[in-house]
Structure 1
Amino acid sequence: MVAIQRPRLSPARMRAADVMRVGAVGLRTRPLRAFLSALGIAIGIAAMVGVVGLSSSSGAELDRQLSALGTNLLTLSAGSTITGEAAQLPKDAEAMIERIGPVQAVSSIGKAADAKVYRSEQIPEAQTGGISTYAARLDLPATVGATLRSGTWLNAATERYPAAVIGSLTAQRLGIGAAGPDTQIIVGGIRFTVVGVLEPVALATELDSGVLVGWPVAESRLGFDGHPTTLYTRSEEAKLESVRQVLAGTANPEAPNEVDISRPSDALAAKQATSQAFANLLLGVGAVALLVGGVGVANTMVISVLERRAEIGLRRSLGATRGQIRTQFLAESLLLSALGGTGGVLLGTGVTMGYALYSGWPSVVPAWATAGGLAATLLIGAIAGLYPAIRASRLSPTEALSTP
C-alpha cells in the first residue's frame, strides 16, 4: 500500500494593499482614539515645521532687507577721550572722508543737545520722551536707505527754515500720524513745521527716535556747534575692509582712537542669530511634543492589542502567521503616525504662511523640514508600534480565543 503525501499549504502572502487595508481596521473601528493619538503627533510635527519655517522666513526677510539696503554702510561716531569725556569729530571730517577713493557716498548728522522736543508749549519740560534733535545733511536718506512714510525730505530751501522731518518712533511718541503745514512741534523753544515722517530705518535706528532739521537752521537757531556726531559712508563692497582700516585716521587724524566704527548690517545679522538661538529652543520643545505623541501612539497600540485578542486568535486559527500579525499591528501604528505627521506638516506650513503673510515676509518652508517631519513620524510610529506588534504576534490561537 502506497502512502499518499498531501502537499503542505503555505500561508498566503499579504500584498501591500492587503497590509494597508488590514492595518486600517483598528483606525476605522476606533476613530476618536485614533484621532486623539494622531493629534499628539500632529502637534509635535506642526511645532517643528512651524519653527523651522518661521526661522527660514525671517532669514529670507533679513536677506531681502540687506539686499535692498546694502551691506557696504559703515558708521562713524564720536567715542570717548582717554579721560572718559565725550570726544568730538572735526567739522571737516566729512570732507576728508570723501577723499578716500573707494568711498561712494558720505553723509552725517550732528546732535543739537540743548534743543529739546515737545508736542506743544503745554508739555512739562521733564517730559522729553527721549527724543533727540539732529542737524542733517540733504543726502542723508540716499546714504542710509531711509524712506518717507509721509511728506517730503528737507531741500535747499527748507533746510534754512524751521522745518523738520521726524522718525517713526518720534511720530508715535508725539501722536503725529502724517506731515502737513498745520502739524507743528516745539524744538528748542521754536515752532517747527513737520514736513516729513520717516519709515523705520533699519541701518540707522537712531534716526527713528529723532527730529531731523537742516544744518543751517540748527546752527543759526538751535545752538548747534557744527560738529558732526555720526557719519555714514557707502564704499565699494570689495574694498570695504580696507576703507574701514583708514576711516578713523582720516576722520580724526589727531585722535583716531576717539572714533568708533561699526557696520550696521552686522547688528542685523547678530539679531538674526539671536532669533535663531530662540528658534532652536522652540525646536527642542517641538521634539518633546513629538516624543509625547509617540508615547500616546504606543499606549494606543498596547490597548488595541489587549482589546483585540479574540480577533488575533481567530486570525491565527484561520492560518495567519506570526509575521502577518506583527505586520498588521506595525502597519496600523505607521498609518496612525503618518496621519498625524501629514496633519502636522499641513498645520505647520499653514501657520508659517499665515504669519509670514501677516508680517510681510517671504514664506519659506524648507523641503527638508517637511520631509524630515514625515520621516520622524514614521520612525516614531515604527518604534511605538514595535513592542505591541511583537506582543500580538506571540499570542497563541488557543490563548487568545480563551480570553474572555
Structure 2
Amino acid sequence: MTCTLENHRAELETLLSPVFASLDSEKLLADSPEANGRILSEDLYALLPIPAFTNSQMDGYAARSADLATATPQSPVTLPLGFTAAAGDRQITLAEGTASPVMTGAMIPLGADTVIPIEESSSGAFPDLVRAGRGTPSGNAEFTAPSEPGRFIRPAGVDLEAGALVAQAGTRLTPTMIAALVSSGLREVPVRRALKVAVCTTGDELSDDQPSQGQIPDSNSPMLTAWLRQYQVKVRTLQLPDDPKRFALTIDALQEQVDLILTVGGISAGAYEVVRQALAPLGGAFHHVAIQPGGPQGFAQLPQAAVLCFPGNPVSALLSAELFLAPLLRKLNALPDPVPQHYPLAADANSPEHKHQVRRAVIRDGQVAILDPGSHLVHDLARADALVHIPVGVSQLAAGQSIETWSMNV
C-alpha cells in the first residue's frame, strides 16, 4: 500500500498527540543546565518585582531635586557629601541638604528623588568616599544645573510587578526567560517531563566493535541520539539482532520504560524484516510512502507506548526523522518551523515523477548543488547543509532555476 507524505504525517500526528499530551510535570531549578529549552507546565507569577528595589541607573550623586533647582554654571550649588550607596548595600537615608554618591544598581537613598551622573558634576570624578558604618563622610560636590525628579532612577517593579504573570504554561525556557524567572524570585519551576525515547537499531550486520566480514558499524544509533537530544528528548539505545521473538520480548519490556520506541531497519520487503514480523501481528501498520529516499515506513500503538518504524539506511533514517518526527517535536517544544531559503540550481537535476524526492544539497557561492540520491551515502549526508524537496509531478529541474532549500546539519 502506498500513501502520500502528507497522509503519513497525519497518521503519525494522530499516533503521537496523545503520547505528548500525557507527559506529566516535574520541577527543575531554573538555573540548572537541564532547564534551557524545556516547556513550562504551569502559569508562573512573580514573587519579586523587577527591579526588586528602586535603584540608580548611573554612577553619580543621589540628591533632592529641590536642592538643585537654582543651579547654573554662573551660580553652582555645592552640597556636602553623605554616605555612599554601593550595589549590595542596605538602603541609607539622604540627610537634608546633602548629596550621596551612588553607584549603578545601588538602592536609591531614602529621601533622594534624582541622580546626577558623575560626569555632570563640576569635578567629573568622585573624591574619597565613605560607606555607612565605615567612617564619617567629608568633602563636597558642585552642580551647575538642575536635575528633575526621577532622573536616572529605575523604580522597583517598573519592568514587572510582584504577582504579575511572568510566563504562561507552554512557554519554552530560553536563556532570557530563565533570567526573567530568576529575577522575579522563581528558582524552582514546573516543566513538562522530557519525552523518553528508545532507539532500537536492528540487524545481524551491525557491530559496536571492529566489524568482522559482512558487518558494518551502527551509525544510526549515535546519529539519531544526537538528533533527538536537540529536541530535549531523553534517549536510550538498543541494538537487536534479526530475531522476531527476541525483538518482541524486548519491545514488550521497553514500553513500560519509555513513551516512544523508534525502530530502525527491518521493515522492507526482504525475508528477514524483524520489525515487520514482530509488530504486524500486534496491529502494526506498514506501507510505502511516495517519497525517496525513505519509502518504507511503519508505526504501531502498543498498550503503553507508541512505535515509529524507520528504514535502516542512514540517509533514509535521518530524512524520515526530519520529515515525519521533527514537525511534531518542534510543536511539542514550542519551536518555530524552519524558514526555507531560495537559491538557483547549480546544475540540471531530475527526479522520479511519481515520488516526492528529498535530496541533500550543498550551498556554495550563492547556488545550490544537489547531491547523489543514494540512501547509503553517509559522508554525503554529513557534508550536506541543505535539503531540497522536489514534489510529486516534477521530473526535471533546470540549472539556474530557483528552488526552495531547508537548512540541515547546523
TM-score category by the smaller chain?
under 0.3
In terms of fraction of residues, the more helix-rich structure is 1
> What TM-score results when the alignment is normalised by the length of structure 1?
0.28
In terms of fraction of residues, the more strand-rich structure is 2
> What TM-score results when the alignment is normalised by the length of structure 2?
0.27
Q: Highest relative contact order (Cα 8 Å, sep 6+), 1 or 2? A: 1
